[in-house]
Amino acid sequence: MDPALYAHGDPFAQWRWLRANAPVHWQPPAELPGFWSLTRYDDVRTAYRDAETYSSAQGILLRPAEHGADPGGGRTLALTDPPRHRRLRALVDEWFSVRSIRALEPELREITRGVVDRALDRGNVDFVADVAARVPLYVICQMMGVPETDWERLYELTSQAFGGGDPLTRRFAHLEILGYFETLHAAKAADPGDDLVSVLATAEVDGERLSPDDVILNCDNLLVGGTENTRIAAAGGMLAFLERPEQWQELVAGRDLLPSAVEEVLRWTSTATHIMRTAVRPVEIHGRTIEAGDKVVFWLPSANRDERVFDDPDVFDVRRQPNRHLALGFGEHFCLGSVLARVELRLLYGELLGREVRVEPDGEPELLDSIVVNGPERLPVVLKRTD
């Protein structure tokens, strides 16, 4: 539970011990409420599938008890249970389907090319801030109908809100993001367009229009979900390639490996460190009884390194097959943007490979100091043209 462990320590050693010795582990309450930890793949996957036992509506992340309930509980895609979750998801599902993302791919490729061009012009860049963060942010902004003139503003706000630094600065930046979507929602409700915010601003669920607050919270949910994990996965994947250059050379020699490489990047980075559920009825796992009302935490990086499921789980291998990781969730809450995330990673790495861009370290990476997401906060590199 120490955020510094993820920046400076080795949480995998602790998870390895838990998987072997205490796969269902009770953490007594302190600053955070008490909770059960699930660290094995099969237990996490089973719990993900059982939405009737494990509720999302009371929050999906550990938060100090003094902060109270999550304001999005029961209102956003991530924090609702069936049947409301399915109805909310149905409003936007088509936007993230294979067919829709395939149709958008030329625009996504153009966005990616522009980001890489600007990074190449600078040469010395932070791969997180200057490359990995911008591709998914620009893409989701376009899908949400955010004017291109506002993309940089939202980039700055999301960098402050979801990066490291002063908690007060992060909070004010997040409030400004919510204020931005309040204004955008009003504009789209008055004059809808062909975009995600217009869909939410004019949608009905159970015969009623979504309230302005619900629209704003769901916009925030889409922005975070559409940017945060892809940003960290793209950067974490590049860090893995820099540390294992022979794996990048595998891709140089065979571009057909790119799809399996993307899956391995997702497994390896497992950027959502934990996901929480609340048990709504008693359930027994490995002889331990979880009572109704208990918090249950799924440690995704642990599940995706479970030696019972993955051969040589601590080896990064772009040829790994099969690779049924849980980095994008499972069951009712399988990541809405899973197809989009995969395409963004494929296009970004494909752009670097296709133009034979050399990526070289330019300093020590800094990892995030957080128990919520894990991966690089800064990754200084030099990009060199060879095309």
| Averaged pLDDT of the chain | 95
pLDDT at 163 over 70: no
Band (171; pLDDT cuts 50, 70, 90): confident
Q: Prior bond to 83 cis, omega within 30?
A: yes
Q: What's the pLDDT tens digit per position in 283-317? A: 999 999 999 999 999 999 999 999 999 999 999 99
Tell me what pLDDT residue 65 has: 84
Phi, psi of 322 (to 5 degrees): -75, 170
Per residue in 211-221, pLDDT (tens digit) is 999 999 999 99
**What pLDDT was estimated at residue 387?**
62
* Of 300, 313, 309, 315, residue with least CA distance to 375: 300
Domain ranges of the chain: 3-384
Model confidence at 153: pLDDT above 80:
yes
Please say if the pLDDT value at position 325 is more than 90. yes
Q: Which CATH class is domain 3-384?
A: mainly alpha
What is the tens place of the pLDDT at every residue in 223-276?
988 898 999 999 999 999 999 999 999 999 999 999 999 999 999 999 999 999
Instruction: Give the number of residues written for the chain.
Output: 387
Neighbouring-strand partners of residue 126: 380
Q: What percent of the chain has pLDDT over 70?
A: 99
- Whether 300 and 375 have beta carbons less than 8 Å apart is answered as no
pLDDT in tens, 328-381: 999 999 999 999 999 999 999 999 999 999 999 999 999 999 999 999 999 999
Confidence class for position 24, pLDDT limits 50, 70, 90: very high
pLDDT of residue 71: 86
- Three-class secondary structure assignment of the chain: CCHHHHHHCCHHHHHHHHHHHCCEEEECCCCCCCEEEECCHHHHHHHHHCCCCEECCCCCCCCCHHHCCCCCCCCCCCCCCCCHHHHHHHHHHHHHCHHHHHHHHHHHHHHHHHHHHHHHHHCEEEHHHHHHCHHHHHHHHHHHCCCHHHHHHHHHHHHHHHCCCCHHHHHHHHHHHHHHHHHHHHHHHHCCCCCHHHHHHHCEECCEECCHHHHHHHHHHHHHHHHHHHHHHHHHHHHHHHHCHHHHHHHHHCHHHHHHHHHHHHHHHCCECEEEEEECCCEEECCEEECCCCEEEEEHHHHCCCCCCCCCCCCCCCCCCCCCCCCCCCHHHCCCCHHHHHHHHHHHHHHHHHCCCEEEECCCCEECCCCCECCEEECEEEEECCC
User: What is the structure's pLDDT at 266?
Assistant: 98
Q: Which residues contact 69 (CB under 8 A, 6 or more apart)?
A: 58, 59
So what's the pLDDT on residue 165? 65
pLDDT reported for residue 161: 83
Q: How far is CA 247 from CA 59, 126, 261, 316, in A?
A: 38, 21, 9, 8
Residue 110 has pLDDT above 70, yes or no: yes
Q: 72-85 pLDDT, tens per residue?
A: 899 999 999 999 99
User: What mean pLDDT comes out for the span 51-70?
Assistant: 92
pTM: 0.96
Is 80 buried (19+), middle (13-18) or exposed (0-12) by CB count in 10 A?
A: buried
Average pLDDT over residues 166-184: 91
Tens-place pLDDT, residues 237-252: 999 999 999 999 999 9
Task: Check residue 5 and give its pLDDT.
Answer: 97
pLDDT over 80 (residue 166): no
